[in-house]
Structure 1
């Protein structure tokens, strides 16, 4: 970061210039142009330079900002620009010497100071421009989170969403315009949310209470995945995810997506994992998208088409799962497109597919595993074991 860049990102609190550090005041006094949301500009009414209202959506303002290169420019942001703010979006487009950031306390810091919640023990999330379901994997009784929301009306929507997924008893603290003269703090529960006239900017502190938490281990209950019967069942899914062994930043090809359960659990393993699910049936492909969105991993890419043709043009995988329709042609195409070090896991149910995997195991090594499961079922007035079809699983590193 340069001491004399053309762009300064100034974090602004709700008390306007009264809360700014000397360096931020100096940057504003020397600016040739100041860009910011209308609300931010209104907090600094005495600006003597050119002002530009940042348009909505946010991306539309970036080309306007870039046209100011070479002029002393200030961009106004809320609180800390690098805590769920504009800083990361802007600086990735610039060289290191072109910008500097002068932060103010973030909304999260102000909320934690009011609540007495240690930030290192509290989940913080920006939901002002993201679906509420991004929070879904983290919800469990006793978990605390502070989230930013789009506006006052979104608070009721957020409360209704929590109630719909079984977290209606959760305690909510609605925090409005923190750090300024309009600051207001009110309390409610998700299932009794009746607050009105909620001012922007708004955040909500959540103390979660509910009985339908999403387990953290691989092999989540099948009930979390809407399906038409085409799903890798929970025990097999747990073994499959263990063999796939997701790591941060890795990309999975899930071929024959079905309900999307494998790709979704891969994405739930870490926020930086990526996945592409390939599914030939358009109805199932739509269901995969819905399942992913409901479970907070809407970053899943779904390709509707038949493999191996549908694999053309996809980013290279770090791991591949073939869950349905395994064939010689499929394995040949996948193997050719996998980079060295990538992992392949294939599950087979039919005798023909089992022989195919045995042959590939003989040629390329890896591990061949036969999985046989039986469930206790009623047998007259007693119980007996009902066996499922055995699964043969081949896993290998290229």
Structure 2
């Protein structure tokens, strides 16, 4: 190559080296782009193509997963703290929503809050759907691993985690109700039907055992969701088994069709509790499908443009807010809210900024006490209504209720919830150890 005019030998050698480096970088860039395109199209193909799954269990309730759908590294030891924070924020919306329900008929500001897009902050009904979808996700994760606890160990741990705090909260509700002032009627059905009948032993028994066609709103209006979740927990391994063997899109379609059929069936059967419970089980199935396809759906989400992700997020927030009023009436709205919940979960897990914000200590703590807050906040609200209704201005009731709700939730979390969690882990280990010990052979 001829020398460049006006340049030295050193500069020529430097120019040759730079030219060679630039060609190498261009070749590397082209190969990286081709590789990225191949990865994106392969992920899109996997999302629309059913993976082969072995149907032969390795042991009771153990499933073999193909290599393409192995549990990602982040799921193997990750607790998804951001989802705990989501649960805490959802519990806070239930608290604020119940408070606004109280004042909506008499306060124009409360009515406007439900009409504006800010209504997602008050969407307690939508928060329940998020709870169910989150539970389906979390309870399915162990079944993606090669080894997990037996069904008996799962039931023991779930009983301690879910039922024992519920039973303690119910007994606390009954005690405070028995010692509260005379019932009041404020003209709102969701409150007037609660705490306005004498405490009877058989009603407490039905609430504790969940048997019969009892009134779940008799003592606390949120306890019906616990009855539903405890029943679904009994069949959760079967739901996880289905999710492990279904393609994400086909599973969502099957969930929608099944929920619609169960909604139609409920008025035609004598025991409506069964089809209603199974309809909510479809929401657990949606969360389970998201868990089994987390890596693929997450990759699909990350490869969408910011415009697509923002549009889906805005749509999810609007559905979350405006569908809350009639969510427990129409199965289609429940399914739409479950999909909106998955979009919110994708934002929480795939966006570094949102994930970092959800990992703030205060929000994480709200997630830690979310179950206690959900169980006890209506106890505070009902006591305030029956004690101070018509005697105290709303400006004092609102901060007093919120402060007292969080104080009671803190007390309940540390005195009841955490000990029952430790008890559940201890009993789970005990069941697992007993299953590993073989009985001695009989010697003649």
> Which bin holds the TM-score, normalised by the shorter protein?
under 0.3
Q: TM-score, normalised by structure 2?
A: 0.20
Whose strand fraction is larger, Structure 1's or Structure 2's? 1
Q: TM-score, normalised by structure 1?
A: 0.22
Q: Which structure would you say has the larger RCO, counting Cα contacts within 8 Å and 6 or more residues apart?
A: 2
